[in-house]
Structure 1
């Protein structure tokens, strides 16, 4: 480690170099001019370098003094910035949310700039998951579960209920436009979520198409894969309408049928009941309640 002179002496020297006089430097440091002068003499003796020329009661930086002052000014600036960052970080409360990847990407993340703007004191960390949160296993403050909103020991806030629609890309839309809906569905590959095997049967019932039997089914265990497969024309996706607002508006995906499957089940923000009293968690829950229907 490098040998460093006393910090007070360095501060005194840097202040005099910047302010130009002992008096102004003393006022900045809240000490006497005599104390500042003593610090500078001790610093010069410690370094064995003359930092100031003393002419007619004035202090003029030597060439060594000018170089040293510039370097110290940058060093004190960096220390100040580091201190500010540390203070800001310590003033923020970190909470962690674990949620399904597609829900985060397609629904929550586009809304988060508003939360950051309204609650800069909260540092929200996100982790992705394929399965429902388990607070005995997962070291997180908040999670997302799918169901009817009733889990023992958990505080649940509804995000949105099921509104499932059949979607495809532009080429798929054109194929559906050329034939009756039932026939088009029978000739298509249905993209099936293996954790929600009742989605397609329930949607067929809601659409009055119980007799339809599709020729092909492609299983996936992640909704994000179904989304990408629908975009690429691999098949017909069954997806939450809440995930598709931008895609439908911009024409990347299209509704292939007017039927919408609405159920009481849906996605809920959950936490342990005792965690719900955490002020940062309360802020996030309140923000969700205000923004969930946007």
Structure 2
């Protein structure tokens, strides 16, 4: 049989890989309706549906999953071959050393920023362009925080979120005891965006219907950490937020208990980066730093 339209294959592969018609449209610079039309045309050409369509969501069928993996491998081979050929052009080589990174602000400000000098020393020929907002498909790499149930196949989990209370060392010597989870109810708690996280964490410690009468609600994680360091209260921090501040002694973890939160920090690589110089170097360095972090924080 004749090959289907390349547009249809590209639209289907992107939608299956990203788990979203909308995200596929962004990557391909098309409208969602155009992507849907291309996929419908491909399905008519193949004589079968590749997606099971439900209310506001699509799920790849078993045969569709096989087809999507095969197309992904084929497109990857095309990208690699194209990049390998293009790298023989000397003037372009230096231009391709720039890596565009989209990074979640908390991850950047409280963890990654202080490690970047190490990357620059190891790879002085690689320039980084870092943003904290924008469309993921416009960047070579994206570091994002996402709920587990929302993480599509294009995202690779780097670090699961583990939450633990942290505070200024001075609170340990204060007049209010801080020896057990129940003691938290007598302290000023600092909340991130809403009070649900603290409530769930306390319930995991067997404290039901126990919430303090007061607590600041802040919408910036860097501010939360600064408030905790300044003795304003006890914050519930994930390991990325707290690792360096705990090591420096600017914060302490008064309790040993840590509980998982159904989210994590994920890495996404834009398909078209292929063998782009610098991207692989940064990704390998980042994953090595993350592995060190997980060992230091005893994260399995």
Q: Per the shorter chain, which TM-score range?
A: 0.5 to 0.7
Q: 1:236 and 2:240 equivalent?
A: no
The answer for the alignment partner of 1:16 in structure 2 is none
Matches within 5 A, 1:215-230: 215-230=213-228
Asked if the contact 2:142/2:267 (under 8 Å) is kept, the reply is yes
In structure 2, the CA distance between the partners of 1:276 and 1:262, relative to structure 1 (3 Å rule), is: farther
In structure 2, the CA distance between the partners of 1:167 and 1:176, relative to structure 1 (3 Å rule), is: farther
In 2, the alpha carbon distance for the partners of 1:167 and 1:123 equals 35
The answer for the alignment partner of 1:206 in structure 2 is 204
Q: 1:186 and 2:190 equivalent?
A: no
Asked if the contact 2:96/2:277 (under 8 Å) is kept, the reply is no
The answer for the alignment partner of 1:145 in structure 2 is 144
The normalised TM-score by structure 2 is 0.58
Report how many residues are paired: 201
**Cα deviation code 1:194-227 (max 9, x no counterpart):** 1x75422232133222332111121111100100
SS at match of 1:247: helix
In 1, the alpha carbon distance for the partners of 2:208 and 2:173 equals 23
In 1, the alpha carbon distance for the partners of 2:122 and 2:150 equals 29
The answer for the alignment partner of 1:123 in structure 2 is 127
**Cα deviation code 1:46-68 (max 9, x no counterpart):** xxxxxxxxxxxxxxxxxxxxxxx
Task: Give the gaps of 5 or more residues in structure 2.
Answer: 1-90, 293-300
Larger Rg: 1
Quick check: 177-186 or 257-266, which moved more?
A: 177-186
> CA-atom RMSD, angstroms?
3.0
The answer for the alignment partner of 1:97 in structure 2 is 101
SS at match of 2:174: helix
In 2, the alpha carbon distance for the partners of 1:150 and 1:281 equals 25
Structure having greater relative contact order (Cα 8 Å, sep ≥ 6): 2
Matches within 5 A, 1:254-293: 254-263=252-261, 265-275=263-273, 277-293=275-291
In 2, the alpha carbon distance for the partners of 1:183 and 1:260 equals 15
In structure 2, the CA distance between the partners of 1:197 and 1:272, relative to structure 1 (3 Å rule), is: farther
In structure 2, the CA distance between the partners of 1:258 and 1:276, relative to structure 1 (3 Å rule), is: farther
Matches within 5 A, 1:3-152: 90=94, 93-129=97-133, 134-135=135-136, 139-147=138-146, 148=148, 151-152=151-152
In 1, the alpha carbon distance for the partners of 2:271 and 2:242 equals 32
Asked if the contact 2:190/2:233 (under 8 Å) is kept, the reply is yes
In 2, the alpha carbon distance for the partners of 1:250 and 1:151 equals 33
Q: How far off is 1:261 after superposition?
A: 1.3
Q: How far off is 1:94 after superposition?
A: 1.1
Q: How far off is 1:172 after superposition?
A: 1.9
